[in-house]
Amino acid sequence: MPFRTNKHIFFDLDHTLWDFEKNSALAFQEIFTNLDISVNLNDFLEVYIPLNKLYWEKYRNEVVTQEELRYGRLRDSFDSLKMSISDADIWTIAHQYITTLPTYNHLFEGAVDVLNYLKTNYSLHIITNGFNEVQTGKLKNSGIMHYFETITNSEMAGVKKPNPKIFEYALRFANAKASQSVMVGDCLEADIYGAKAIGMQTIWFNEFKATPPKDIIAIHTLAEIKKYL
């Protein structure tokens, strides 16, 4: 069943439109090769992915700073692998990761098709907790920047999802009302519950087919958005 009348669709970027894990793996592969760091990529990613998720949760909750996130997720990963690596090398990897990551731009299947479909009837926007320099690069390099009328990031808003202030900032920026807006994202806490708390409609991009809460509309592929919008 389609949603009630709405005019604005807000998307998260990473893990929703932009295939973060695939692009991240390619970035690390390039960096480790260039820096001659002898680590098995699969072994590294096995420990890095959950640690990165943990650090982002801490970052959302104001427990760590941006710099602590960038350093800590790498330091903890190499420590878990019992690899000796200097702080200088950690920071080199961290800085190269920020510049290399946006050069890989795999989108989730159906992303461009869905954006073309929605663009004819809705104003499209981005709300992201990611860093401005990185997220802008991802949007430009992946060729989807032009679909979005506004792009709100946590650095602009001064707070991170799920804080209601970032959604309120994004709505003001877009000249949109919460009652006429839909948030599409992969994170229940940050994207879905955060948006619902201020009266936005939501669609959870549930790629891994977890059992959704009863009051949440969930999709497993981006193409399924067409059922509701």
What residues does 18 pair with on adjacent strands? 14, 107
Residue 5 has pLDDT above 80, yes or no: no
pLDDT at 56: 92
Instruction: Say if residues 200 and 178 touch (Cβ distance below 8 Å).
Output: yes
- Chain segment 152-210, per-residue pLDDT in tens: 999 999 999 999 999 999 999 999 999 999 999 999 999 999 999 999 999 999 988 88
Instruction: Quote the pTM value.
Output: 0.92
Locate 3 and state its tokens: 């949603």
DSSP summary character for residue 52: H
Q: What is the pLDDT of residues 56-88, one digit of tens each?
A: 999 988 999 999 999 999 999 999 999 999 999
Higher model confidence: residue 229 or residue 4? 229
- Distance of alpha carbon 26 from alpha carbon 45, whole angstroms: 11
pLDDT digits (tens, 9 = 90+) for 211-224: 889 889 999 999 99
User: Is 12 an annotated catalytic residue?
Assistant: yes
pLDDT tens-place string over residues 111-131: 999 999 999 999 999 999 988
Rounded CA separation 69/121 (Å): 39
**How large is the average pLDDT for residues 9-29?**
97
Long-range contacts: 57-63, Cβ < 8 Å, 24+? 59/129, 59/160, 60/129, 60/160, 60/161, 60/162, 60/189, 60/190, 62/160
Strands (DSSP E) contained in the chain are 8-11, 123-128, 150-153, 181-185, 201-205, 218-219
Confidence of residue 3 (pLDDT cuts 50, 70, 90): low
Rounded Cα–Cα distance for residues 80 and 158 (Å): 33
Q: How remote is the C-alpha of 19 from its chain's centroid?
A: 9
* Burial of 67 from C-beta contacts in 10 A (0-12 / 13-18 / 19+): exposed
Cβ 14 vs Cβ 205: under 8 Å: no
Length in residues, the chain: 229
